[in-house]
Structure 1
Amino acid sequence: MTSTDAPGLVRTERHGEGGHVVEIVLDRPDALNAVSTAMAEAIGRVSAAVAADPDVRCVVLTSSQARAFCVGADLKERNTMSDAELVRARPGNRAAYGGILDLPVPAIAAVEGFALGGGFELALSCDLIIAGEGAAVGLPEVSVGVIPGGGGTQLLTRRVGWSRAASMIFTARRLTAAQARDLGCVDEVVATGSARARALELASAIAANSPVGLRQAKRAMRLGSDLDLTAGLEIEDNCWRQTAFSGDRAEGVAAFAEKRPPRWPGR
């Protein structure tokens, strides 16, 4: 899969046997991947195309260059926009972040360099975050008169808890990769320049598993995470039923009994 509708902004690459791992590459290096209106629309289109592809089992979100994963909103563009233009751009921006957040398969962000504001929110929209040692993350929006508007107030709070999220957001401070790991903002820190390779390695291990199982596991976790336990268990049961009578379950059990790798039908 290669994106052709957003040249120079966002592109995709397939990896591994069967191409089940898709890498979404933020590719606006001249602006350190600052999210302009056009780039937000491109992220939305590309993520929607990836979400609709039944062959995808895992997604890795990366940058085309090492200096920055994404520095957030394009403030130069924002400085030229009227209030009406800002309002018109809002749905496209929400679709960009929502498109990554709502991917139906596991998603991993590989962060090198700066991941600030909306850039960190794109990473937070993924299920796992791998960061290079030289990475810096933060949500500095209150320092320029707004708030995190790409899901940051909600996603960071759910990741690290109220007080830690409040401290980061209210102070607008940046964290090193090690500090972010210690707070739970990122999941793993690797040598500088290794985040993409580690994320692709992890994605390959994930993609070896049942595509039906992966999608239903993510669905159960996402839908149940903000509900009480009883309601969450009902969602889990529904998702379990989607797997229990699937071709993937039949193949998985047969492969286990026959001591061979499974050949997932993905249905």
Structure 2
Amino acid sequence: MSESAEQRFGEFVVVRRHEHVAELVLDRPGAMNAVSTEMARSIAAACDALGADRDVRVTVLSSTHERAFCVGADLKERNSFSDAELVRQRPTARAAYTGVLELPMPTVAAVHGFALGGGFELALACDLIVADETAVVGLPEVSVGVIPGGGGTQLLPRRVGAARAAELVYTARRVEAAEARALGLVDQLVDEARAGALELAARIAANSPVGLRAAKRAMRLGQGLDLRAGLEVEDAAWRSVAFSGDRAEGVAAFNEKRKPQWPGE
């Protein structure tokens, strides 16, 4: 995949482009990508920009650190806050996680090394998680008197079921790569997380951008609904793409035995 210019959001977040794949890179190596207020603000800003870019078909969330994807919240900063400051900072912290969660295109986390607490929650906010053998994941918040507050109590049960999520949250234990794959905490175990995630993203990005966004919307909106309501969500998503330019191009390419050139509309 060809590389293009980087775009930096603040000091700690970089967005790189690989054709139709965007890579949102956590770049605070001096703190193992611990999420400070500034970094949270930058993640949210990068997500806003990516969400508005119709040329992006897939986003990969990755890290520059050799030993960590992200170790969670910046506890040094957080422990310096007064109670009032902590309350004021909360919306900024949440915006980073909801920014990733609400990206309209498919998202893939590339987990290398530690992904703990809020770091694992950033990965859980993605549609798919690709990890390598160095990965160690977990939600240790109850061991320090709080709870997962970046979506973990909601996203983990949706990924692995209520009982398994409860065991992981209540014990606050760390899970290494092989067990994480067996439990469904990660979706693929590969030799190198970033390379594997970008390879998967490229395969996804070969498909219709209109179809990808509609499929994600249907699956996300259908979660938690009964089957009948979920099928109505699916039908609405189908109707939104049934007469699109992408569908017309997909049919034409199939009939002409060629690769489609998606108009993205």
Match of 1:226 in 2: 224
Distance in 1 between residues matched to 2:8 and 2:129, nearest whole Å: 27
Task: Give the distance between the partners of 1:118 and 1:229, measured in 2 at CA.
Answer: 32
- Measured in 1, the distance between the counterparts of 2:28 and 2:251 equals 45
SS at match of 1:129: strand
Counterpart of 1:202, as a letter, is: L
Alpha-carbon distance, 1:79 to partner: 1.0
Q: Distance in 2 between matches of 1:36 and 1:65?
A: 16
* Aligned-pair CA distance for 1:104: 0.4
Of the three residues 202, 205, 217, the one matched with 1:204 is 202
The aligned counterpart of 1:3 is 7
1:140 counterpart letter in structure 2 = P
Q: Counterparts of 2:161 and 2:123 in 1: how far apart (Å)?
A: 17
- For residues 4 and 122 of structure 1, the distance between their equivalents in structure 2, rounded to whole angstroms, comes to 19
1:109-120 matches, cutoff 5 A: 109-120=109-120
Residue 148 of structure 1: aligned partner: 148
TM-score by length of 2: 0.97
C-alpha separation in 2, matches of 1:35 and 1:121? 12
| Dislocated runs of 4+, deviation >4 Å | none
Asked if structure 1 preserves the Cα contact closer than 8 Å seen for 2:58 and 2:106, the reply is yes
Name stretches of at least 5 consecutive residues in structure 1 with no aligned partner.
none
The alpha-carbon deviation at position 118 of structure 1 amounts to 0.1
Q: What is the alpha-carbon distance in structure 2 between the residues aligned to residue 81 and residue 108 of structure 1?
A: 33
- Identical columns (%): 69
Q: 1:59: which partner in 2? A: 59
- Counterpart in the other structure of 2:17: 14
User: For 1:199-226, what per-residue CA distance to the aligned partner results, in whole angstroms no more than 9, with x for missing partners?
Assistant: 0001001001000000000000000021
Superposed, which structure 2 residues align to 1:7-156 within 5 Å?
A: 7=11, 9-15=12-18, 19-156=19-156
Q: Give me the whole-angstrom Cα distance separating, in 1, the residues matched to 2:187 and 2:215.
A: 19
AA matched with 1:229: L
Unaligned 5+ runs, structure 2:
none
The alignment status of 1:214 with 2:217, answered yes or no, reads no
Deviation digits for residues 3-43 of structure 1 (CA, Å, limit 9, x no counterpart): 33313x0001000xxx2100000000000000011111110
Once the two structures are TM-superposed, the CA of residue 66 in structure 1 deviates from its matched residue by: 2.1
Which residue of the other structure, out of 257, 260, 264, is the alignment partner of 2:258? Answer: 260
Aligned to 2:162: 162
Match of 1:240?
238
The RMSD of aligned alpha carbons is 0.8
Structure 2 distance, partners of 1:65, 1:150, is 21
Q: Deviations over 1:126-175 (max 9, x none)?
A: 00001111110000000111000000000001100111000000010000
Looking at structure 2, the residues matched to 106 and 235 of structure 1 have their Cα atoms a distance apart, in angstroms, of 18
Aligned to 1:196, the other structure's residue is in SS state helix
Secondary structure, aligned partner of 1:4 = strand
Contact 1:3 1:46 in 2 (8 A): no
TM-score by length of 1: 0.96
Instruction: Give the letter aligned to residue 90 of structure 1.
Output: R
How many Å apart are 1:121 and its aligned residue?
Answer: 0.1
How far, CA to CA, are the matches of 2:127 and 2:140 in structure 1?
22
Give the letter aligned to residue 220 of structure 2. Answer: R
Q: 1:2 Cα shift?
A: 3.1
Corresponding pairs, count = 261
Question: C-alpha distance in 2, partners of 1:68/1:47?
Answer: 21
Aligned residue type for 1:75? L
Tell me, in whole angstroms, the C-alpha distance in 1 between the residues paired with 2:9 and 2:98: 19
